[in-house]
Structure 1
Protein backbone atom coordinates (compact mmCIF):
# COMPACT_ATOMS: atom_id res chain seq x y z
CA UNK A 1 0.00 0.00 0.00
CA UNK A 2 1.39 3.41 -1.02
CA UNK A 3 1.87 6.30 1.40
CA UNK A 4 -0.95 8.27 -0.27
CA UNK A 5 -3.39 5.37 0.07
CA UNK A 6 -2.48 4.97 3.73
CA UNK A 7 -3.13 8.69 4.29
CA UNK A 8 -6.51 8.43 2.54
CA UNK A 9 -7.42 5.42 4.65
CA UNK A 10 -6.42 7.20 7.86
CA UNK A 11 -8.51 10.23 6.84
CA UNK A 12 -11.54 7.97 6.26
CA UNK A 13 -11.09 6.30 9.67
CA UNK A 14 -10.67 9.68 11.37
CA UNK A 15 -13.81 11.08 9.70
CA UNK A 16 -15.75 7.92 10.64
CA UNK A 17 -14.67 8.15 14.29
CA UNK A 18 -15.30 11.91 14.42
CA UNK A 19 -18.94 11.80 13.37
CA UNK A 20 -19.65 8.91 15.76
CA UNK A 21 -18.13 10.95 18.60
CA UNK A 22 -20.09 14.03 17.54
CA UNK A 23 -23.33 12.05 17.43
CA UNK A 24 -22.58 10.66 20.89
CA UNK A 25 -21.93 14.14 22.30
CA UNK A 26 -25.04 15.64 20.70
CA UNK A 27 -27.35 12.90 21.99
CA UNK A 28 -25.91 12.95 25.51
CA UNK A 29 -26.20 16.75 25.61
CA UNK A 30 -29.85 16.56 24.49
CA UNK A 31 -30.54 13.83 27.06
CA UNK A 32 -29.11 15.89 29.90
CA UNK A 33 -31.21 18.86 28.80
CA UNK A 34 -34.38 16.75 28.73
CA UNK A 35 -33.48 15.29 32.12
CA UNK A 36 -33.55 18.78 33.65
CA UNK A 37 -37.24 19.02 32.73
CA UNK A 38 -38.05 15.44 33.77
CA UNK A 39 -36.71 16.04 37.27
CA UNK A 40 -38.12 19.58 37.62
CA UNK A 41 -40.56 20.04 40.49
CA UNK A 42 -42.31 23.32 41.04
CA UNK A 43 -42.47 24.02 44.80
CA UNK A 44 -45.80 25.78 44.25
CA UNK A 45 -47.15 23.03 41.96
CA UNK A 46 -48.23 25.57 39.35
CA UNK A 47 -45.90 24.61 36.50
CA UNK A 48 -46.02 21.20 34.85
CA UNK A 49 -44.19 20.12 31.71
CA UNK A 50 -46.18 17.65 29.63
CA UNK A 51 -44.67 14.66 27.85
CA UNK A 52 -44.76 16.03 24.32
CA UNK A 53 -42.90 19.16 25.45
CA UNK A 54 -40.07 17.13 27.01
CA UNK A 55 -39.77 15.11 23.78
CA UNK A 56 -39.59 18.33 21.73
CA UNK A 57 -36.95 19.76 24.08
CA UNK A 58 -34.77 16.68 23.55
CA UNK A 59 -35.19 16.83 19.79
CA UNK A 60 -34.69 20.59 19.43
CA UNK A 61 -31.57 20.45 21.60
CA UNK A 62 -30.14 17.59 19.56
CA UNK A 63 -30.90 19.26 16.22
CA UNK A 64 -29.42 22.59 17.31
CA UNK A 65 -26.26 20.94 18.61
CA UNK A 66 -25.88 18.74 15.51
CA UNK A 67 -26.12 21.80 13.25
CA UNK A 68 -23.39 23.51 15.28
CA UNK A 69 -21.18 20.42 14.86
CA UNK A 70 -22.02 20.18 11.13
CA UNK A 71 -23.19 16.65 11.85
CA UNK A 72 -26.15 17.04 9.50
CA UNK A 73 -23.81 16.34 6.57
CA UNK A 74 -23.45 12.77 7.86
CA UNK A 75 -26.64 12.11 9.84
CA UNK A 76 -30.06 13.54 9.05
CA UNK A 77 -32.84 13.81 11.62
CA UNK A 78 -36.45 13.78 10.38
CA UNK A 79 -39.27 14.66 12.78
CA UNK A 80 -42.55 12.88 12.06
CA UNK A 81 -45.87 14.71 11.93
CA UNK A 82 -48.42 13.86 14.61
CA UNK A 83 -50.36 11.77 12.09
CA UNK A 84 -47.22 9.87 11.02
CA UNK A 85 -46.33 9.20 14.66
CA UNK A 86 -49.77 7.73 15.28
CA UNK A 87 -49.72 5.58 12.12
CA UNK A 88 -46.07 4.48 12.20
CA UNK A 89 -45.29 4.60 15.91
CA UNK A 90 -42.24 6.74 15.14
CA UNK A 91 -41.38 10.12 16.66
CA UNK A 92 -38.32 10.78 14.48
CA UNK A 93 -35.81 8.98 12.27
CA UNK A 94 -32.02 9.28 12.32
CA UNK A 95 -30.47 8.32 8.97
CA UNK A 96 -26.75 7.85 8.30
CA UNK A 97 -26.27 9.19 4.79
CA UNK A 98 -24.09 7.91 2.00
CA UNK A 99 -21.64 10.73 1.18
CA UNK A 100 -21.98 10.43 -2.60
CA UNK A 101 -25.68 9.71 -3.14
CA UNK A 102 -27.07 11.26 0.09
CA UNK A 103 -29.29 8.19 0.37
CA UNK A 104 -29.65 6.62 3.83
CA UNK A 105 -27.30 3.71 4.52
CA UNK A 106 -28.86 2.84 7.86
CA UNK A 107 -31.80 4.31 9.76
CA UNK A 108 -32.86 4.46 13.40
CA UNK A 109 -36.59 4.93 13.96
CA UNK A 110 -37.12 6.36 17.45
CA UNK A 111 -40.18 6.00 19.64
CA UNK A 112 -40.22 7.88 22.93
CA UNK A 113 -41.95 6.16 25.84
CA UNK A 114 -42.91 8.20 28.87
CA UNK A 115 -43.78 6.41 32.07
CA UNK A 116 -46.90 8.53 32.26
CA UNK A 117 -48.63 9.70 35.38
CA UNK A 118 -52.22 10.84 35.77
CA UNK A 119 -51.27 14.52 35.77
CA UNK A 120 -49.65 14.26 32.34
CA UNK A 121 -52.54 12.24 30.94
CA UNK A 122 -55.09 14.79 32.13
CA UNK A 123 -53.03 17.68 30.76
CA UNK A 124 -52.72 16.16 27.29
CA UNK A 125 -56.43 15.34 27.11
CA UNK A 126 -57.21 19.06 27.27
CA UNK A 127 -56.03 19.50 23.67
CA UNK A 128 -58.66 18.53 21.11
CA UNK A 129 -57.28 16.44 18.21
CA UNK A 130 -57.69 17.58 14.59
CA UNK A 131 -59.74 15.58 12.08
CA UNK A 132 -56.60 14.14 10.44
CA UNK A 133 -55.34 12.97 13.84
CA UNK A 134 -58.70 11.34 14.57
CA UNK A 135 -58.54 9.52 11.22
CA UNK A 136 -54.98 8.35 11.89
CA UNK A 137 -56.07 6.96 15.25
CA UNK A 138 -58.97 5.10 13.66
CA UNK A 139 -56.66 3.59 11.01
CA UNK A 140 -54.23 2.25 13.60
CA UNK A 141 -56.55 1.45 16.49
CA UNK A 142 -55.76 -2.28 16.47
CA UNK A 143 -51.99 -1.92 16.94
CA UNK A 144 -49.88 -0.74 19.84
CA UNK A 145 -47.14 1.85 19.24
CA UNK A 146 -44.35 -0.76 19.69
CA UNK A 147 -46.07 -2.99 17.11
CA UNK A 148 -46.33 -0.08 14.66
CA UNK A 149 -42.64 0.80 14.83
CA UNK A 150 -41.70 -2.90 14.55
CA UNK A 151 -43.77 -3.17 11.35
CA UNK A 152 -42.32 0.11 10.04
CA UNK A 153 -38.72 -1.06 10.50
CA UNK A 154 -39.32 -4.52 9.03
CA UNK A 155 -40.97 -2.97 5.96
CA UNK A 156 -37.75 -1.03 5.26
CA UNK A 157 -35.34 -3.91 5.93
CA UNK A 158 -32.50 -5.06 8.17
CA UNK A 159 -30.74 -1.68 7.91
CA UNK A 160 -33.60 0.00 9.78
CA UNK A 161 -33.40 -0.24 13.56
CA UNK A 162 -36.11 0.50 16.09
CA UNK A 163 -35.08 2.44 19.19
CA UNK A 164 -37.49 2.59 22.12
CA UNK A 165 -36.37 5.55 24.21
CA UNK A 166 -37.59 5.54 27.82
CA UNK A 167 -37.88 8.95 29.46
CA UNK A 168 -37.80 7.81 33.07
CA UNK A 169 -38.67 4.51 34.71
CA UNK A 170 -40.36 3.63 37.98
CA UNK A 171 -37.06 2.51 39.51
CA UNK A 172 -35.16 5.48 38.04
CA UNK A 173 -37.56 8.29 37.03
CA UNK A 174 -34.75 10.70 36.06
CA UNK A 175 -32.92 8.42 33.64
CA UNK A 176 -33.13 8.23 29.86
CA UNK A 177 -32.27 4.85 28.38
CA UNK A 178 -33.26 2.83 25.34
CA UNK A 179 -33.62 -0.58 23.73
CA UNK A 180 -32.48 -0.98 20.11
CA UNK A 181 -32.84 -3.84 17.61
CA UNK A 182 -33.68 -4.56 13.98
CA UNK A 183 -35.46 -7.75 15.02
CA UNK A 184 -38.48 -6.73 17.10
CA UNK A 185 -40.84 -7.97 14.40
CA UNK A 186 -39.55 -11.53 14.92
CA UNK A 187 -41.08 -11.52 18.39
CA UNK A 188 -44.39 -10.51 16.87
CA UNK A 189 -44.07 -13.30 14.30
CA UNK A 190 -43.70 -15.85 17.08
CA UNK A 191 -46.79 -14.48 18.79
CA UNK A 192 -44.77 -12.73 21.48
CA UNK A 193 -45.76 -9.23 22.52
CA UNK A 194 -43.57 -6.20 21.99
CA UNK A 195 -44.82 -3.88 24.71
CA UNK A 196 -43.52 -1.82 27.62
CA UNK A 197 -43.26 -4.90 29.84
CA UNK A 198 -41.08 -6.72 27.26
CA UNK A 199 -38.86 -3.66 26.72
CA UNK A 200 -38.44 -2.93 30.44
CA UNK A 201 -37.55 -6.59 30.97
CA UNK A 202 -34.74 -6.16 28.39
CA UNK A 203 -33.43 -3.19 30.38
CA UNK A 204 -33.68 -4.91 33.75
CA UNK A 205 -31.87 -8.01 32.51
CA UNK A 206 -29.16 -6.08 30.68
CA UNK A 207 -25.66 -6.94 31.91
CA UNK A 208 -24.25 -3.74 30.42
CA UNK A 209 -25.36 -0.54 28.71
CA UNK A 210 -23.64 1.02 25.70
CA UNK A 211 -23.28 4.72 24.89
CA UNK A 212 -25.19 6.31 21.97
CA UNK A 213 -21.89 6.44 20.08
CA UNK A 214 -21.25 2.75 20.61
CA UNK A 215 -24.84 2.05 19.52
CA UNK A 216 -24.17 3.81 16.22
CA UNK A 217 -20.85 2.01 15.84
CA UNK A 218 -22.55 -1.40 16.27
CA UNK A 219 -25.12 -0.49 13.63
CA UNK A 220 -22.51 0.66 11.11
CA UNK A 221 -20.48 -2.50 11.66
CA UNK A 222 -23.54 -4.47 10.50
CA UNK A 223 -24.19 -2.19 7.52
CA UNK A 224 -25.16 -4.28 4.51
CA UNK A 225 -25.00 -7.51 6.52
CA UNK A 226 -28.42 -9.25 6.62
CA UNK A 227 -28.17 -10.24 10.27
CA UNK A 228 -30.45 -9.60 13.20
CA UNK A 229 -29.17 -7.50 16.07
CA UNK A 230 -30.38 -8.74 19.43
CA UNK A 231 -31.78 -6.03 21.71
CA UNK A 232 -29.04 -3.64 22.83
CA UNK A 233 -29.60 -1.43 25.89
CA UNK A 234 -28.34 2.13 25.61
CA UNK A 235 -27.74 4.67 28.40
CA UNK A 236 -28.32 8.28 27.38
CA UNK A 237 -27.95 10.10 30.71
CA UNK A 238 -24.91 10.08 32.97
Structure 2
Protein backbone atom coordinates (compact mmCIF):
# COMPACT_ATOMS: atom_id res chain seq x y z
CA UNK A 1 0.00 0.00 0.00
CA UNK A 2 2.93 2.24 -0.33
CA UNK A 3 2.44 5.40 -2.44
CA UNK A 4 4.63 6.12 -5.44
CA UNK A 5 6.62 9.30 -5.42
CA UNK A 6 9.14 11.16 -7.45
CA UNK A 7 12.31 12.76 -6.21
CA UNK A 8 11.96 16.28 -4.88
CA UNK A 9 14.29 18.99 -3.70
CA UNK A 10 15.69 18.34 -0.28
CA UNK A 11 14.62 20.71 2.47
CA UNK A 12 17.88 22.27 3.65
CA UNK A 13 16.21 24.18 6.45
CA UNK A 14 14.81 21.09 8.20
CA UNK A 15 16.65 19.53 11.10
CA UNK A 16 18.71 16.46 10.30
CA UNK A 17 20.65 13.92 12.30
CA UNK A 18 22.46 10.59 11.98
CA UNK A 19 25.83 12.09 10.96
CA UNK A 20 25.26 13.16 7.34
CA UNK A 21 23.68 16.14 5.55
CA UNK A 22 20.79 15.55 3.16
CA UNK A 23 21.27 15.42 -0.61
CA UNK A 24 19.59 17.27 -3.46
CA UNK A 25 16.97 15.36 -5.42
CA UNK A 26 15.60 16.31 -8.83
CA UNK A 27 11.97 17.05 -9.68
CA UNK A 28 10.69 15.63 -12.95
CA UNK A 29 7.75 17.08 -14.80
CA UNK A 30 4.86 14.84 -15.86
CA UNK A 31 4.19 14.40 -19.55
CA UNK A 32 1.22 13.59 -21.73
CA UNK A 33 1.19 11.33 -24.78
CA UNK A 34 -1.27 12.39 -27.47
CA UNK A 35 -2.44 9.51 -29.69
CA UNK A 36 -3.78 10.24 -33.19
CA UNK A 37 -7.57 9.89 -33.50
CA UNK A 38 -8.95 6.78 -35.14
CA UNK A 39 -10.20 7.20 -38.70
CA UNK A 40 -13.81 6.11 -39.28
CA UNK A 41 -15.60 5.90 -42.64
CA UNK A 42 -17.89 8.86 -43.20
CA UNK A 43 -21.63 8.51 -43.61
CA UNK A 44 -23.38 10.91 -45.87
CA UNK A 45 -26.50 10.82 -43.68
CA UNK A 46 -24.63 12.37 -40.76
CA UNK A 47 -22.99 15.72 -40.36
CA UNK A 48 -19.21 15.88 -39.73
CA UNK A 49 -19.87 17.20 -36.21
CA UNK A 50 -22.19 14.30 -35.38
CA UNK A 51 -19.74 11.84 -36.94
CA UNK A 52 -16.91 13.10 -34.72
CA UNK A 53 -19.18 12.88 -31.69
CA UNK A 54 -19.86 9.22 -32.41
CA UNK A 55 -16.14 8.49 -32.57
CA UNK A 56 -15.70 9.36 -28.87
CA UNK A 57 -15.31 6.29 -26.62
CA UNK A 58 -18.18 5.29 -24.37
CA UNK A 59 -17.61 4.24 -20.76
CA UNK A 60 -20.01 1.46 -19.82
CA UNK A 61 -21.05 0.54 -16.32
CA UNK A 62 -20.91 -3.18 -17.08
CA UNK A 63 -18.99 -5.52 -19.36
CA UNK A 64 -22.08 -6.67 -21.31
CA UNK A 65 -21.69 -6.72 -25.07
CA UNK A 66 -24.89 -4.73 -25.62
CA UNK A 67 -24.68 -0.91 -25.28
CA UNK A 68 -25.63 0.30 -21.81
CA UNK A 69 -27.35 3.54 -20.90
CA UNK A 70 -26.50 3.15 -17.21
CA UNK A 71 -24.22 5.85 -15.79
CA UNK A 72 -20.85 4.51 -14.53
CA UNK A 73 -20.62 4.13 -10.78
CA UNK A 74 -18.63 6.81 -8.99
CA UNK A 75 -15.41 5.41 -7.57
CA UNK A 76 -14.94 6.17 -3.88
CA UNK A 77 -11.46 7.51 -3.16
CA UNK A 78 -9.68 5.71 -0.30
CA UNK A 79 -8.97 7.80 2.80
CA UNK A 80 -5.23 8.47 2.79
CA UNK A 81 -3.02 8.73 5.88
CA UNK A 82 0.68 9.67 6.00
CA UNK A 83 2.75 9.06 9.15
CA UNK A 84 5.86 11.24 9.54
CA UNK A 85 8.86 11.20 11.89
CA UNK A 86 12.46 12.40 11.51
CA UNK A 87 14.27 9.73 9.48
CA UNK A 88 11.37 7.40 8.59
CA UNK A 89 13.09 4.30 9.96
CA UNK A 90 11.59 3.87 13.45
CA UNK A 91 8.37 5.59 14.51
CA UNK A 92 6.58 6.44 11.27
CA UNK A 93 7.17 3.06 9.56
CA UNK A 94 6.00 1.41 12.79
CA UNK A 95 2.87 3.57 12.75
CA UNK A 96 2.32 2.62 9.10
CA UNK A 97 2.68 -1.09 9.95
CA UNK A 98 0.39 -0.91 12.98
CA UNK A 99 -2.34 0.92 11.08
CA UNK A 100 -2.11 -1.39 8.05
CA UNK A 101 -2.40 -4.42 10.35
CA UNK A 102 -5.43 -2.93 12.08
CA UNK A 103 -7.16 -2.01 8.82
CA UNK A 104 -6.55 -5.48 7.35
CA UNK A 105 -7.96 -7.23 10.40
CA UNK A 106 -11.18 -5.25 9.96
CA UNK A 107 -11.37 -5.92 6.24
CA UNK A 108 -10.97 -2.27 5.27
CA UNK A 109 -7.92 -2.60 3.01
CA UNK A 110 -9.59 -1.07 -0.04
CA UNK A 111 -10.83 1.95 1.88
CA UNK A 112 -7.42 3.26 2.93
CA UNK A 113 -4.14 4.47 1.43
CA UNK A 114 -1.39 4.32 4.05
CA UNK A 115 2.22 5.49 3.83
CA UNK A 116 5.04 7.03 5.89
CA UNK A 117 7.85 9.54 5.37
CA UNK A 118 10.56 11.48 7.18
CA UNK A 119 11.42 15.16 7.41
CA UNK A 120 15.01 14.38 6.34
CA UNK A 121 16.36 12.13 3.59
CA UNK A 122 19.41 10.67 5.35
CA UNK A 123 17.95 7.13 5.31
CA UNK A 124 16.32 7.46 1.87
CA UNK A 125 15.80 4.01 0.29
CA UNK A 126 16.57 2.05 3.48
CA UNK A 127 14.39 -0.43 5.33
CA UNK A 128 13.14 0.38 8.82
CA UNK A 129 15.49 -0.06 11.78
CA UNK A 130 15.90 -3.82 12.41
CA UNK A 131 15.20 -3.30 16.12
CA UNK A 132 11.86 -1.69 15.27
CA UNK A 133 11.00 -4.43 12.81
CA UNK A 134 11.87 -7.13 15.34
CA UNK A 135 9.79 -5.54 18.11
CA UNK A 136 6.80 -5.20 15.78
CA UNK A 137 7.17 -8.76 14.49
CA UNK A 138 6.90 -10.09 18.03
CA UNK A 139 3.44 -8.53 18.07
CA UNK A 140 2.53 -10.03 14.72
CA UNK A 141 3.01 -6.74 12.84
CA UNK A 142 5.11 -6.60 9.68
CA UNK A 143 6.99 -3.42 8.76
CA UNK A 144 7.92 -3.42 5.07
CA UNK A 145 8.19 0.28 4.23
CA UNK A 146 11.20 1.92 2.57
CA UNK A 147 12.37 5.28 3.89
CA UNK A 148 11.62 8.43 1.91
CA UNK A 149 11.41 12.15 2.56
CA UNK A 150 8.16 14.07 2.70
CA UNK A 151 7.41 16.02 -0.49
CA UNK A 152 5.04 18.80 -1.60
CA UNK A 153 2.64 16.44 -3.37
CA UNK A 154 1.95 14.70 -0.04
CA UNK A 155 -0.17 17.69 0.94
CA UNK A 156 -2.35 16.97 -2.09
CA UNK A 157 -2.31 13.17 -2.05
CA UNK A 158 -3.04 12.64 1.66
CA UNK A 159 -6.09 13.55 3.71
CA UNK A 160 -4.27 13.37 7.04
CA UNK A 161 -0.59 13.81 7.97
CA UNK A 162 0.37 12.61 11.46
CA UNK A 163 3.61 13.82 13.06
CA UNK A 164 5.24 11.74 15.78
CA UNK A 165 6.39 14.70 17.88
CA UNK A 166 6.10 18.48 18.04
CA UNK A 167 9.43 19.05 16.31
CA UNK A 168 8.31 16.88 13.39
CA UNK A 169 5.07 18.86 13.19
CA UNK A 170 6.90 22.21 13.23
CA UNK A 171 9.29 21.01 10.50
CA UNK A 172 6.40 19.81 8.33
CA UNK A 173 4.53 23.10 8.68
CA UNK A 174 7.71 25.10 8.09
CA UNK A 175 8.37 23.20 4.88
CA UNK A 176 4.78 23.73 3.81
CA UNK A 177 5.09 27.50 4.18
CA UNK A 178 8.19 27.55 1.98
CA UNK A 179 6.72 25.18 -0.61
CA UNK A 180 3.69 27.43 -1.02
CA UNK A 181 5.85 29.97 -2.85
CA UNK A 182 6.61 27.56 -5.71
CA UNK A 183 3.95 24.85 -5.50
CA UNK A 184 0.19 24.87 -6.00
CA UNK A 185 -0.99 23.46 -2.67
CA UNK A 186 -4.36 23.54 -0.89
CA UNK A 187 -4.87 26.73 1.11
CA UNK A 188 -5.92 24.69 4.14
CA UNK A 189 -3.12 22.09 3.84
CA UNK A 190 -1.84 22.97 7.31
CA UNK A 191 -5.07 21.61 8.80
CA UNK A 192 -4.10 18.12 7.67
CA UNK A 193 -1.11 18.03 10.03
CA UNK A 194 -1.77 16.65 13.52
CA UNK A 195 0.14 14.98 16.34
CA UNK A 196 -0.06 11.20 16.53
CA UNK A 197 -0.61 11.16 20.29
CA UNK A 198 -3.62 13.44 19.96
CA UNK A 199 -5.51 10.20 19.21
CA UNK A 200 -4.27 8.30 22.28
CA UNK A 201 -6.92 7.29 24.81
CA UNK A 202 -5.02 4.95 27.14
CA UNK A 203 -1.82 7.00 27.42
CA UNK A 204 -1.15 10.58 28.56
CA UNK A 205 1.94 11.18 26.43
CA UNK A 206 1.72 14.03 23.94
CA UNK A 207 4.58 12.78 21.72
CA UNK A 208 5.92 9.46 20.44
CA UNK A 209 9.54 9.41 21.68
CA UNK A 210 12.37 8.60 19.27
CA UNK A 211 13.80 5.19 20.32
CA UNK A 212 16.82 5.35 17.99
CA UNK A 213 19.46 5.90 20.68
CA UNK A 214 17.67 3.96 23.42
CA UNK A 215 17.29 0.34 24.42
CA UNK A 216 14.67 -2.32 23.61
CA UNK A 217 12.11 -0.82 25.98
CA UNK A 218 12.01 2.33 23.89
CA UNK A 219 10.76 0.40 20.86
CA UNK A 220 8.14 -1.37 22.96
CA UNK A 221 6.95 1.98 24.30
CA UNK A 222 6.61 3.33 20.78
CA UNK A 223 4.46 0.37 19.76
CA UNK A 224 2.27 0.74 22.86
CA UNK A 225 1.55 4.36 21.97
CA UNK A 226 1.00 3.63 18.30
CA UNK A 227 -1.43 0.78 18.91
CA UNK A 228 -3.43 3.02 21.24
CA UNK A 229 -3.45 5.96 18.80
CA UNK A 230 -4.22 3.85 15.72
CA UNK A 231 -7.28 2.28 17.33
CA UNK A 232 -8.71 5.70 18.08
CA UNK A 233 -7.59 7.05 14.69
CA UNK A 234 -9.51 4.37 12.81
CA UNK A 235 -12.62 4.99 14.91
CA UNK A 236 -12.37 8.73 14.26
CA UNK A 237 -11.95 8.35 10.50
CA UNK A 238 -14.78 5.84 10.29
CA UNK A 239 -17.11 8.12 12.24
CA UNK A 240 -16.28 11.20 10.17
CA UNK A 241 -16.66 9.41 6.84
CA UNK A 242 -19.72 7.27 7.46
* TM-score, length-scaled by structure 1: 0.28
> Relative to total residues, which structure has the larger strand share, 1 or 2?
1
> Relative to total residues, which structure has the larger helix share, 1 or 2?
1
Larger Rg, first or second structure (1 or 2)? 2
* TM-score, length-scaled by structure 2: 0.28
